[in-house]
A and B are shown apart, each in its own frame.
Chain A
């Protein structure tokens, strides 16, 4: 530390430090230097010139799908940093996306009028991309052998704003036990979609355990024989033995949720498209545009979407449409 002290008192240290300095100097001259002149924007990252950050927030249902795709993208482009937050569809739109803080917002239902207004107020333009199809799954305790399906009307009676209190009010042969409900919180797109497809103007009950996390719903339903809950298909797909999924009867007999029934369109009304909304301004950046393209190409990847995550991949047709929509938006953004 104290170079003058060394130099005065210790021959060896001085000689040694001189030698070290000389060595360092020689190495520096020999080319051990770096230049900041043209490297600032990451163009020294090798074959890949893309760099920058991509901020994604939104639906917890789309979160596993988005992180799987982002993981592969980040592995291919090490100068691009992708971050994903699981905030719920509505939370993502109103807190981050429509105020211009994120590049993408995942949603498990379409953007709603109030959110459209908020985005318009802040001049945030966006485009809607379909990510995959989910089968919203209604689950009960595996011990509950007295039930295997519900009609849409019965489902509505259980979850409407003025709901029935005991199971035998739903159907006479059901036991006279109180219904325990576990469902999605109102910031969740799952909640919005459930209202839209089952309850409509009858409203959603507030007499239930609300949570963003599928795991909590599963824990709750596992804990009681008379509990009922609903969430995205992925959780049930990964843990088929832990819970019992109910068939849903939309007038054509009960249909169990599965990748097949969701993609064939039999599982109504609970099979739903999942979305992601890139902001058009962000698409003006090459790395965001490239990520969006990569995302759309991956939506047909069966191994990833069906195998690893547990949603229904898009068809080739849908993918082509999505790609056209995206390319138009990119063109609009990049001029």
Chain B
């Protein structure tokens, strides 16, 4: 009886109210944050592309020629009647709902600035539906092929541009010598040793390469005549990439196809490189972009055609480019008033200016890309090195163990130090004491690397710690040394986690302004940095300066265009890292 009562009372009093309240509270918390960010991004996009001045006809034209065919493609790829029904009802119902709600708010509450119901429909309904259908479509065969192809085209172009940017500051002549004297002989020796199982050749590869690199640095000052830049890039970048692509295809069976997948893009790229000058495009950049786009695309095309499945997907790039062209033609032919976007080609290729129409971000983009590339390398090497040492090599008990724990606590604290303090450290240590110069790219990269180092260390440590001990013990039991265990077991397992941490940290580094101000980075420069020791400006610095210009066009249009550019580069960077991580996860 007594037990019965307790039981009944105990269960009877469990109320669902608290649970439900908690659920909706957390929903509310996430909605507030996301909606605020969403509204901000929508307005920044509207300002950057001058969408407030886009006529409804203009929006409708591109919606019909670009968005609708794309959605149809995704639906075709998904070929699921249920998805089609849902998508169409969302698009249709959304249209009515948004138009009604928008008009109601405008009539009864207050006019909504710089937003029409058509734009609201695009952002609130069309964009989420497109994102959803892109996801669903990419899981279909045709969609997978189509997005794979578009991804290679866009990604290849992005990588090509990034590599081209890096060569603006790195001496291509040193690279030419280092490649010819160091990388080629070392690779040849290694390949020879591996093929013929000659151990000494494989062992000799590293020292030979190092000697070559050192020789290159010395010879740079001695040799005075070099091949032109274009030939250097053909020899050091285009040919190896083409050979690598060719080998990948050749491994699948066909040597002829291998030669073609390597050779055709190479020939196109070389021709493009020599002809590009005539169109006002720098030859080396054209060459690099054509190679990084052409070779992966050719390899991918070979695979898709070989498998013979989902070939329709290959039409996706044609569909997109065709849609954009048709849209442009219609707009031109019917004289539809088009918006005049702040973020256009000249914005990313030209220098800053006193007039908002001519203002560009090019020098700052180059500055940011170079800094972030260096920061990525430095913080990855330092961060992974530190975390491997702390996790794998330091003792867990005794005086040294306590010392390690003390260091751990301090690293965690370092992550919370304001970035201005790192700026002061950079100013004192790198700029003044070590003499890397005030506001140079080297000083900035070192400072930002230190800034994000605690985050990279901590996340890499977490990743290494999450590798199950069983794996280590198993490796030990096989007689592996600690170095072999770390190299073959721990690091490959932890790699995806390490990359995630580094991605987050790099995202913080690219947006930092305060430490750059402290180390004396310039607010405005008019030409891209020519070396690592020249003064530079970074995107957040220039955007901050524009935000304080007296002219309203700067504070709204140009700043928004800068923000969107920064976001696109950030997304590109993160996308690359996420692809690498997914590949590593699949590999393990």
Contacts and interface: CB of A to CB of B under 8 A. Distances in A.
Interface of A: 1-6, 8-10, 12-13, 16-17, 20, 24, 27-28, 32-37, 53, 55, 57, 60, 63-64, 67-68, 70-71, 74-75, 78, 81-86, 95-96, 101, 213-216, 234-235, 237-239, 308-310
Contact of A36 (B226, B231, B529, B552): B226
A83 B364 CA distance: 11
Interface in B179-208: 184, 187-188, 191-192, 195
Interface in B528-577: 529-530, 534-537, 545, 547-552, 555
A302 B184 CA distance: 60
A3 B256 CA distance: 17
A32 B225 CA distance: 10
20 contacts: A1-B247, A8-B195, A9-B255, A13-B259, A24-B227, A24-B234, A28-B228, A33-B226, A34-B227, A60-B548, A64-B549, A64-B550, A67-B352, A71-B351, A74-B527, A75-B351, A101-B438, A101-B520, A214-B550, A310-B550
B266 interface: yes
Nearest to A231: B550
Contacts of B262: 13
Contacts of A67: 352, 354, 524
A9 B195 CA distance: 11
Given A1-B187, A67-B354, A215-B548, A20 B520 contact: no
A101 B534 CA distance: 13
Contacts of A101: 438, 520
A97 B1 CA distance: 90
A214 B547 CA distance: 10
Nearest to B234: A24
Contact of A24 (B223, B235, B526, B547): B235
Contacts of B551: 238
Contact of B191 (A1, A24, A64, A96): A1
B188 A2 contact: yes
B354 A64 contact: yes
Contact of B550 (A6, A37, A238): A238
Contacts of B184: 3
Chain B CB within 10 A, most for which of A4, A81, A235: A81
B578 interface: no
Given A85-B439, A216-B548, 17 more contacts: A1-B191, A1-B243, A4-B192, A5-B191, A10-B250, A10-B258, A35-B225, A36-B223, A37-B225, A67-B524, A68-B354, A81-B525, A81-B529, A83-B522, A86-B523, A95-B520, A234-B550
B239 interface: yes
Given A63-B523, A96-B438, A101-B520, A33 B255 contact: no
Contact of A85 (B258, B259, B523, B547): B523
Contact of B537 (A78, A83, A216, A238): A83
Contact of B527 (A4, A20, A78): A78
B322 interface: no
A5 to B, nearest CB: 5
Contacts of B534: 53, 81
A130 to B, nearest CB: 20
Chain A CB within 10 A, most for which of B228, B354, B439, B547: B354
Given A1-B240, A5-B195, A53-B535, A86 B263 contact: no
A27 B231 contact: yes
Nearest to A304: B354
B7 interface: no
Chain A CB within 10 A, most for which of B191, B230, B266, B547: B191
A81 B527 contact: yes
B352 A6 contact: no
Nearest to A14: B259
Nearest to B227: A28
B244 interface: yes
Contacts of B536: 83
A28 B534 CA distance: 31
Given A4-B192, A20-B266, A84 B259 contact: no
Contacts of B535: 53, 55, 81, 83
A2 B351 contact: no
Contact of A13 (B188, B258, B438, B530): B258
A213 B548 contact: yes
Given A4-B191, A310-B550, A33 B522 contact: no
B352 A71 contact: yes
A13 B246 contact: yes
B550 A36 contact: no
Contact of A6 (B243, B530, B547, B548): B243
B297 to A, nearest CB: 19
B229 interface: yes
A104 to B, nearest CB: 12
Contacts of A75: 351, 526
Contact of B520 (A12, A27, A85): A85
B173 interface: yes
B307 to A, nearest CB: 23
A83 B255 CA distance: 54
Contact of B526 (A8, A82, A235): A82
B510 to A, nearest CB: 20
B224 A36 contact: yes
Given A2-B188, A83-B535, A86-B523, A33 B225 contact: yes
Contacts of A24: 227, 231, 234-235
A2 B520 contact: no
A308 B243 contact: no
B379 to A, nearest CB: 26
